[in-house]
Structure 1
Amino acid sequence: MRLAILAFAAGVFWLQTRAELPLPAAWLGAGLACLLAARLGGRRIGRPLLLLAGFLLGVAWAGWRAELRLDDALGADWEGRDVVVTGCVAGLPQPFAQGWRFEFAVDTVSTVNAVVPQRLQLAWYHSSQAAPAVEPGQRWRLTVRLKRPHGGANPGGFDYEAWLLERGIRATGYVRPGPADKLADFVWRPAYVVEALRAVVQRNFTRLMPAESWPWGGILTALAVGDQRAVDGDLWTLFNRTGTTHLMAISGLHVTMVAGLFGWLAAALWRRLPGAPLLCPAQRVGLLAAALAAAAYALLAGFAVPAQRTLYMLLVAAAALWSGRQPAPSRTLALALLAVLLADPWAPLAAGFWLSFAAVGALLYIGSALPAGAGWGQRLRGWGAVQWAATLASLPLLMWVFQQFSLVSPLANALAVPLISFAVTPLALLAAVLPWPPLLMLAHGLLDLLMRFLFWCAAWPLWQAPAPPPWAVVLAGLGVALCLLPRGLPGRWLGLLLVVPAVAWPPAAIPFAEARIDVLDVGQGQAVVVRTRRHALVYDPGPLYGGDADAGQRVLVPYLRWLGVARLDRVVVSHGDADHAGGAASLRAALPVDRWLSSAPEFGERCQAGQRWQWDGVDFLILHPAAADYDRGRGRNALSCVLRIDAGERRLLLTADIEAADEAALIARDAAALHADLLLAPHHGAAGASSAAFVSTVDAAEVLFSAGYRNRFGHPRPAVLARYAAGGARLWRTDRDGALRIRLAPQRVEVEAWRRQHRRYWHGR
């Protein structure tokens, strides 16, 4: 059964890597046929057929669920149009600087012929009208403007579209000015009751722990109700550096602890009731209480994958013990895996899924080898063995997903795990039920001691390497299994050799005199990474998304880490506009940079026409602005740093936000210097740039546009696209194609679109 479940899981995962959905009915028929043949065939062919049936049924299940979800789509003709909908606030609303963000379950659509999905993610901005404080369960009639799910598509980046698909959110948008009627204060549905309880706890914690005097209050909120957005963004960097991220959200250990505590209390009280154990054994009462407590906490915490996995394991184990059976731990884990995939076939797309199952699997794998005995020496050895197993099992996955590993993680977790799980979290949950300030003060005080220790740990170095290929991760998994074999068995040391490729994968080799240029998909803005054989440059660190997020933090730094770039030789911030320079602070905080160039003085040394340098046979030249341009009081766009990159006879031109007047000045200064094979179009394709004279002078064969999906400026403009197309250029767009990866070599130029090379069935749907 366990192997069949693993085959089913493999089928589910394989389906999530497809560019197009296969027909579920065909795979279901094939799976059932294999299942029947396995029952009728002998043992020799029965087991392989059973595994094949499991794989085929996994594909069919995931495909059927995907079809159902994708069918609930926003009509293509209704993107960007006003629609009147009636429904309920379905999730925990999140305040931000400009208003509120919340999930909305649509009940009815008032606009004639409008096709709107059942679940939306909406923003209600203060700028449109006074956004009231929305609460879970409220019913509203709203005028909204929607678009299909869309997010940045970058190597090593977060797939926002997959995240929305998993949660059933099939359109995003915002509330428009106009009628906004609250029709009911609360609609009584089980899911809304849970969300309302989470909101009450969140409000109580916010009231009792103001941010200015309770710096770790957001962590306590996250531990109580799973609201990770309550934690300051800078703290996640700290947790990543110390390997304690899993403890600052609802993990399986927290759910297990709550279940064990309530189970023990219920059994102890039941034994003290006269005659009660004769009606039902105290052990069964404890099991029932533990299961109910785990379910309640998992729901209160938002029902994330780690909480799901632990809940299903506890339910399976509780059901078996209730019936008098003793299930094998591996069977319990396999059944939990099956339950998670049946409920959520998109779970394998989340890093937490792999990390949680890998850690628990490793602990079960070494369970029989843990030191026995009740003495402190045996307990300490057992704790050390658990830490070693969990750390080693997660190491290949951390390198695959995050490309870094905290060397101090075992030490940090040695203190953080017991303190968070057995002291801070119980106090936070008790305060959720009984909002008494002394409880929160005690929890915050303990957390403050831990945070001081983690800040000290964060000063230790991180191990970083480029993302390894999947085969290296699989090989490392086999190596981990060898390393965790009982002491004394031969060949354990070979496991460490198998782990090495995953944790020390070398950066991609770039030939001499060649450059690799990546125009990242950062929305309405610009971020470009340029690499030669031994050097790296960033041209614009991307836009500012809001008060607590920017492209540097969310896109650029993770991408550089994915590449294995630990240091930048130069950063060119073309000008000071937020859509080009908004990620500068995050980039500066994350990586050392040897030199900064910019037309905006706050970002570094002034860029100026005529500056040039050469790296590994590749030439770099600043063409604009001229020295005199700074004295003319021109706008920021007009002072954009224009960079030309030459790899032998091939040339790329990066133009930022120059406009027609600046293009004319460049042509007058040196028209021949502008001719290029590739061009990053000026000002994202705005109408005031890419003049006919400039287009014909550059005469690029490949023209790239960095623009956001359905951006409010309409970039790139149709007239501009037509102008370049008329000259025979091939057009690329980040909003359509995702990140654009360029190979600039002396004899050839290659352009690849990330969405085309790594398409998934949910993209654009």
Structure 2
Amino acid sequence: GVIIACVYCNWIGHQYINAINSIDFDTPLWVQGEVTTLQNTDHRLSKKSTVILRVTHINTSEVSPMLIRVNWYYPKANLRQGQHWQLLVKLKPARGLANQAGFDYQRYLIGQHIVATGYIKPHVNNHWSSGDISLAQHLSLQLEHGDTYHHQWINALMLGHKHALTAVDKQLIRETGTAHLFVISGMHIGVVAAWIALVCHFMVNTGTLLMRRCGIDVASGMPVVTLSMILLGTFAYCELLGFTIPMLRAFTVISLWLVLNYCQVKIGFMHKYILCLVVVCLVFPMSAFNLGFWLSFAAVSAIVLVCHVIIFNTQTWIQKIRAFIGLQIALSILLIPINVLFFQQWLPASIFANLWAIPWVTLILVPLCMLALLINVIALLLPDDLFIFDFAYQGGMALLDQCFAWLLAGLRLFTNLEPVAAVFAPVPISLNVVECLILLLVIITGLMFHRQWYAQILLVWVLVGAIFTIHPHKDRISHDPATRFFDDSATSVPMTLHIMDVGQGSATLLIANNEALVFDVGDDFGDQFNMVDSVLRPFLQQSNITDIRATYISHNDKDHAGGINRLVKAYPLMRVVDEQNGCVKGYQRMFHSVQVKVLWPPLNMPIRTDNDRSCVIQLQIATQRVLITGDIEAFAEAQLVMAHDRGGIDLQSDILIVPHHGSASSSSVAFLQRVAPHHALISAGYMNRYQLPKASILQRYSDANIKVLNTAQVGQISIQFTDNDTIPYTITTQRGSSYSGIWAYRWYQFQ
């Protein structure tokens, strides 16, 4: 069995790799395909539309259907689900940033079977070949142009179209831990299937009773009729929404479970559960890369465990309500280690917010949405003069709108109303895998012996301890300005330098004793994606960094300084050092035993370009030096070389952060001769449009026997400095390289 599983996984992986290798990524391509998913269509705010295309033709040649994710910047037309388009695109393989913490975008793409990402190039021949939109898209547009105030919420719950939710809306469900209720996930499909089953049972039982009164006994054939109606109704709903991967998984599990029950297969509940997991992994093997898939099964496992160890009495309505409250509280406590492990935080509001939201969504909003959807579909199929359906639909939408108003009003109590919002604010917690496992075992032990007084005390201790955990990045920051930045002590502590993978940009962190210096903060593409929230803050939380002493901004280019305002908001006592605030030649500070020295630019010196005004910083770490150069070009390098030759500065450094991402205008021979580094580190985006680093520059480093590492190839680069004179520092990388373990090499090697 193990051998068969390995062979099967290997075959699936090669299928995915072959799909990637069949695409020419060096030149723009003409593709034809269907718009399957809209991920962002409000280009008035974000200046782009993001869609997933199912491609069937590349450069007029038919290919096996494959999924690509593309952005259309400043689009000339609105892309709609179901339309077929011919587009000129520039693609690159499915790829994401590779950092120690943060969202793994590459795993997400693989889990969604997306083989390439890119953007649509402006061209007069970009046009749709079929303007027919899907039924779901038609209904979505009808909602958006309707009179309902909460149309974006109805759109998300009914059709899974979340692009209309605002940043405030998303923050609300994120902080209350109710985001899982507003996505078309396994739980949502399960709730829909349950309501369809309830309606089907009622219809079948009513039909059986009527047939029996007519003298016809059809009871023996009714179970298969009921099963068929449930499966057909669930299939129709999933087909209407486009049968995304999560829907396919959920429909597979529901179908298998119902068939096993219908056939009265004599296996236990746990065996059915494991069988469903095995079948899903066999049918959708790429789902194993999707974090949401494992979180869903973890949640189901938690439900199974709680129901197994806690016997709920559900004979009366009062007992059912008590059982629901007990189940929700137990699940929230049981899922604390999982939230801490994957998201480095716990949401106290999630317990009570879900107690409020789950009944609303499952018992009221979902059936109302299904009823409104059914009425609308019937109205579309029947003649326009049947106003009764329009009247029923409008009445249903008004009721839905009011129900959402009541639901959201309750959720906002946990985020907007003081002091409730302060008590239930998200709690950042940083625990490693072992600590999370220990916490999980403690909670499971408490649940198993929940009737014992000591177990009850244990559970209360876990809950109270989680609620009152100190926020590491706010409450534990030193508030003494005199000691926060000016640290002249020469205390020797372990030092680690991290060059983060931020795509086409730059962000570097120096870590020592739970404190950090930051050098540039990467790009910012808005609330949905920026390097501070996606890369820096997750890494700082995971590393238990309680204080940022200072952030140095080399210059104001967006790929270096784009996220500075977000970082200042997260760390309000942090000092920002740029050219206007001290980052000029002669500036020196101590960070523990590290000397921070600014070599360039001179004060009040006229410099023509912003790149050449970049702040050049040299770090003296024990016997080693690191030179951080920003985007300096030939002029600044020549000035630094002259200053070095005059003895004003010493450029020699062991590690060089390559100037301007390896552009042809930097890294002159004279500059490299003076710096003479052992390692040169490049921060660049994978297959970036500027084609950096340039091949001629890489050859220049090679000719000088300087070892080069590029974040585009190896991901985050970490340098651990030691007191060993023989091996003064060690380098590790997040992706596969000679500096990383075999597991990282195999994981990322296919592209």
Residue number among 135, 154, 159 corresponding to 1:197 in the alignment: 135
- Describe the superposition over 1:86-108 as per-residue Cα deviations: whole angstroms up to 9, x where unpaired: 33334346424444332333333
Displacement of 1:524: 0.7
Matches within 5 A, 1:507-526: 512-526=492-506
Q: What are the ranges of 5 or more consecutive residues in structure 1 without an aligned counterpart?
A: 1-30, 32-54, 187-194
Aligned counterpart, 2:745: 759
Identify if the C-alpha distance between structure 1 residues 431 and 275 changes in structure 2 by more than 3 Å, giving closer, same or farther: closer
Deviates more, 1:555-564 or 1:645-654: 555-564
Displacement of 1:494: 11
CA distance in 2, matches of 1:694, 1:73: 40
Identify if the C-alpha distance between structure 1 residues 465 and 674 changes in structure 2 by more than 3 Å, giving closer, same or farther: farther
CA distance in 2, matches of 1:260, 1:171: 37
SS class of match (2:90): strand
CA distance in 2, matches of 1:521, 1:98: 25
- Describe the superposition over 1:253-299 as per-residue Cα deviations: whole angstroms up to 9, x where unpaired: 43333222222223223333453474247666555444444444445
CA distance in 1, matches of 2:50, 2:138: 17
Aligned counterpart, 1:68: 15
Aligned counterpart, 2:626: 652
- Describe the superposition over 1:347-391 as per-residue Cα deviations: whole angstroms up to 9, x where unpaired: 233222222222222222232533314446533431232123312
- Describe the superposition over 1:317-374 as per-residue Cα deviations: whole angstroms up to 9, x where unpaired: 4223433567633233222212221222232332222222222222222325333144
2:114 paired with 1:169: yes
User: Between the two proteins, what is the percent identity of the paired residues?
Assistant: 26
Aligned counterpart, 2:689: 712
Aligned counterpart, 1:315: 255
2:293 paired with 1:353: yes
CA distance in 2, matches of 1:705, 1:734: 6
CA distance in 2, matches of 1:585, 1:200: 40
Identify if the C-alpha distance between structure 1 residues 736 and 442 changes in structure 2 by more than 3 Å, giving closer, same or farther: same
Aligned counterpart, 2:389: none
2:210 paired with 1:275: yes
Aligned counterpart, 1:125: 72
Cα-Cα RMSD: 3.5
2:565 paired with 1:585: yes
Residue number among 426, 430, 450 corresponding to 1:466 in the alignment: 430
CA distance in 2, matches of 1:144, 1:575: 32
Displacement of 1:249: 1.9
CA distance in 2, matches of 1:371, 1:642: 66
SS class of match (2:680): strand
CA distance in 1, matches of 2:620, 2:574: 22
Aligned length: 684
What residue identity is the alignment partner of 2:296?
A: S
What residue identity is the alignment partner of 1:445?
A: A
Aligned counterpart, 1:102: 51
CA distance in 1, matches of 2:196, 2:102: 40
Aligned counterpart, 1:390: 331
Displacement of 1:743: 1.5
Aligned counterpart, 1:89: 35
Aligned counterpart, 1:741: 718
Aligned counterpart, 1:697: 674
SS class of match (1:675): coil
Matches within 5 A, 1:356-395: 356-368=296-308, 369-375=310-316, 378-395=319-336
Displacement of 1:179: 2.9
CA distance in 2, matches of 1:753, 1:376: 57
CA contact (8 A) 2:365 2:400 kept: no
CA distance in 2, matches of 1:209, 1:681: 56
CA distance in 2, matches of 1:760, 1:492: 44
CA distance in 2, matches of 1:432, 1:589: 43
SS class of match (1:208): coil
Deviates more, 1:276-285 or 1:325-334: 276-285
2:573 paired with 1:573: no
SS class of match (1:121): strand
CA contact (8 A) 1:400 1:467 kept: yes
Identify if the C-alpha distance between structure 1 residues 242 and 313 changes in structure 2 by more than 3 Å, giving closer, same or farther: same
SS class of match (2:664): coil
Displacement of 1:535: 1.5
Displacement of 1:533: 1.5
2:602 paired with 1:626: yes
Identify if the C-alpha distance between structure 1 residues 624 and 467 changes in structure 2 by more than 3 Å, giving closer, same or farther: farther
SS class of match (1:537): strand
Deviates more, 1:349-358 or 1:320-329: 320-329
TM-score by length of 2: 0.82
CA distance in 2, matches of 1:316, 1:440: 33
- Describe the superposition over 1:475-516 as per-residue Cα deviations: whole angstroms up to 9, x where unpaired: 55444432321544799589879999x999999xxx934321
Q: What are the ranges of 5 or more consecutive residues in structure 2 without an aligned counterpart?
A: 377-392, 473-490
Displacement of 1:443: 4.1
Residue number among 331, 342, 348 corresponding to 1:401 in the alignment: 342
What residue identity is the alignment partner of 2:288?
A: P
Aligned counterpart, 1:665: 639
Displacement of 1:702: 0.8
SS class of match (1:755): coil
Aligned counterpart, 2:444: 481
Aligned counterpart, 2:379: none
CA contact (8 A) 2:36 2:242 kept: no
Residue number among 590, 614, 620 corresponding to 1:614 in the alignment: 590
SS class of match (2:80): coil
CA contact (8 A) 1:482 1:494 kept: no
Residue number among 390, 402, 417 corresponding to 1:442 in the alignment: 402
Deviates more, 1:534-543 or 1:700-709: 534-543
Displacement of 1:468: 1.2
Aligned counterpart, 1:266: 200
CA contact (8 A) 1:480 1:499 kept: yes
Displacement of 1:741: 0.9
- Describe the superposition over 1:374-413 as per-residue Cα deviations: whole angstroms up to 9, x where unpaired: 4465334312321233123322221221111113321222
CA contact (8 A) 2:686 2:713 kept: yes
2:273 paired with 1:333: yes
Identify if the C-alpha distance between structure 1 residues 573 and 102 changes in structure 2 by more than 3 Å, giving closer, same or farther: same
Identify if the C-alpha distance between structure 1 residues 239 and 597 changes in structure 2 by more than 3 Å, giving closer, same or farther: farther
- Describe the superposition over 1:28-67 as per-residue Cα deviations: whole angstroms up to 9, x where unpaired: xxx3xxxxxxxxxxxxxxxxxxxxxxx4443333222222
What residue identity is the alignment partner of 1:345?
A: P
Aligned counterpart, 2:615: 641
CA contact (8 A) 2:91 2:119 kept: yes
CA distance in 2, matches of 1:337, 1:350: 14
Identify if the C-alpha distance between structure 1 residues 353 and 654 changes in structure 2 by more than 3 Å, giving closer, same or farther: same
- Describe the superposition over 1:421-455 as per-residue Cα deviations: whole angstroms up to 9, x where unpaired: 33334444444443635245324413431342242
TM-score by length of 1: 0.80
SS class of match (1:544): coil
CA distance in 2, matches of 1:539, 1:696: 24
Displacement of 1:306: 6.2
What residue identity is the alignment partner of 1:693?
A: A
Identify if the C-alpha distance between structure 1 residues 224 and 71 changes in structure 2 by more than 3 Å, giving closer, same or farther: same
CA distance in 1, matches of 2:33, 2:190: 36
CA distance in 2, matches of 1:474, 1:58: 28
